[in-house]
Structure 1
């Protein structure tokens, strides 16, 4: 097959051919690899760059992840390859840099992993990357029926859904990261293979339930000694201490809430244009500044949001 015009071939296959149940997708770096992959698909042979499956009906959901997903250099190749991504990333960086002590691009694409791990830069970097990635998918015609975000990711979800302008979203994201970063260090977060009902008797006295990620997967957060003591009660299960600068979604966040609320109440809000599965409460009002203040402290009920998606 002549694959010299790969864009034309791909476009025509999607827009002028019947939408059959059986589908195949190949992701290749060059024409030679594309020829080999297409030949493998045609002959029914395995290929490391081809995916063959059946189409299924259902809704499409986009997930915006939270802290821990960041890495040095993220988005750099997308930036050089796709103008849509670059334009959206640049726009976000311009707004965020108004509130940061050093240029965000230098941090994300630099060589100091410790600097990127600082909450003030981590949250801004994830917002810029994830919002630009959304715009790229959107430009390809891939749009979600529903959005869900984990912690800082929920702010990105709200922005792309139209709750805030880019200017207001960047201001809120930057304030959230800056105020958290300025809190005293210490505290601990530990992921525990246990259900919420199992850890519930040990909450309080310095230990908060930071997240319920699955029916048997929770995250404890709060004062280091107290959190580690509770985690020790589940020593026969899998536990993992998270590498974080602060104990997020715990009582240790409370000293920054008043200042964060001041910023949140100065912004303009609009009804989301895409459905959002809240990780705080199913009937939440995302246009209420109080929601975003409470979200800093509240348990991230990701498992409930996933159930809602179903």
Structure 2
């Protein structure tokens, strides 16, 4: 029970105050009968809950041809320049968590590292540009750390074509505003035509393969210091047959 009238005070205000008090104590109130329909608005449930509707800025690559470079249209490689005298080709890029946010989903001990497969993509794409699309060897020498702020400049350097039809390749980086380059990977590209692997299995999963549990796989990796965010959590199922491992891997719709 609650009082609705007090001597000398506004009766309407007192009545609404009483109804509101009952409402806060769990008594159902038909507010539409009091304030009219379509008059109520939803309020945030938390003082700092909000949604942003402003577009987030993204780095936009300009036309590099004005600087004498060749644009590649590749998400990890920006431009290329052929060195005079046929001494080689240099491919350049700029990587940051602002321009390539998905890279932050690959960490080790809390530090964002460029994934090893990204080095393979950089090198193979560079080789495709010069007709040496077969990666014969690639050794990863040092991790490439991506800073929380700022960016790193990346160069993929292809040496001159050898008589054997091979090119030596190296991947370098340096933080912006610094002068020293660090070599992260080196290897060999070839112009030979690689044999196309032939899938011999006629059924899936392959006969004789035993399923391997994958539940908790990424959580277990995180406990050892390897962090894989949504962009790198594509493992769906896996099987093992002797020393062979078969797996189904799929990108999330957002990553794709």
TM-score, structure 1 as length reference: 0.20
Greater per-residue helix proportion: 1
Flag the structure with larger Rg.
2
Greater per-residue strand proportion: 2
Q: Relative contact order: is structure 1 or structure 2 higher (C-alpha 8 Å, sep ≥ 6)?
A: 1
TM-score, structure 2 as length reference: 0.23
